[in-house]
Amino acid sequence: MADAPVNVLSICGSLRKNSFNAALQRTLPSLAPPGLSIKSAPAWADMPIYNADIQAAGFPAPVTAWADAIRAADGVIIVSPEYNWTIPGGLKNAIDWTSRMKDDPFKGRLVALQSCAGGLLGGSRMQYHLRQSLTAVESVIMIRPEVFVTFSAKKFDEKTLELTDQPTKDMVKVQLEAFEKFVRHHKG
């Protein structure tokens, strides 16, 4: 009998309508191997800025929905831009919120990272900072293969935002194949 598919949740660190990272996130299912099923996480745009006083009154609904979706997944792929050499504040805020839950959804969660950025480094500084924060919440991060989409405006169609760059598609495919194996290995 064939193995059951690995269920992965994708999270995008940009809220921008024409986001390249969101465009890459939308492309992932078409680049995934047959054993990997990828669906997008619920929106985190409405999460308030973390405040222990708000937490004391109960976790906000968008935080709970996000956490439930992460818990239900075998693994998580975070696709995010880099803001000022680090993690976009909104994404970090979302991770801060879930880290205060008794059952932190990121604890022990298998995670892969991808980034699209305008420049030469492709969001690498963001990824290394994100690894640090995810290590703090005890996620299990796949170190390699890495996916950095540099000069992203050149890799996507200007009008449709379709990913057109074949080497980028190949790089993402290689990571997704590796992530399926990584998740199966860790899940036994």
Tell me whether residue 89 or residue 108 sits nearer to ligand FMN (CB atom). Answer: 89
Distances (CA, A) of 105 to 64, 79, 83, 90, 124: 10, 18, 24, 17, 24
CB 163 within 8 A of CB 22: no
**Under the criterion CB under 6 A, does residue 114 sit at the interface with ligand FMN?**
no
Least distance from ligand FMN to the Cβ atom of residue 27, Å: 13
- Render 35-78 in DSSP notation, one character per residue: TEEEEEPPP-TTPPPP-HHHHHT---HHHHHHHHHHHHSSEEEE
Q: Is 128 exposed, middle or buried (0-12, 13-18, 19+ CB in 10 A)?
A: middle
- Interface with ligand FMN (CB under 6 A), residue from 83, 101, 165, 169: 83
Could you tell me how many residues of this chain bind ligand FMN (CB under 6 A)? 17
Candidates 40-48, 90-98, 115-123, 169-177; binding stretch for ligand FMN (CB under 6 A): 115-123
**Under the criterion CB under 6 A, does residue 82 sit at the interface with ligand FMN?**
yes
124 to 153, contacts with ligand FMN by CB under 6 A?
152
3 to 32, contacts with ligand FMN by CB under 6 A?
14, 16, 19-21
- Interface with ligand FMN (CB under 6 A), residue from 25, 28, 75, 81: 81
Least distance from ligand FMN to the Cβ atom of residue 171, Å: 17
**Under the criterion CB under 6 A, does residue 39 sit at the interface with ligand FMN?**
no
CB 149 within 8 A of CB 23: no
- Interface with ligand FMN (CB under 6 A), residue from 117, 147, 172, 183: 117
What residues contact residue 26 under an 8 Å CB cut-off, 6+ apart? Answer: 40
Tell me whether residue 13 or residue 75 sits nearer to ligand FMN (CB atom). Answer: 13
- Look at residues 180, 170, 119 and name the one whose alpha carbon lies nearest to residue 147: 170
Binding residues for ligand FMN, per CB under 6 A? 14, 16, 19-21, 81-85, 116-119, 121, 123, 152
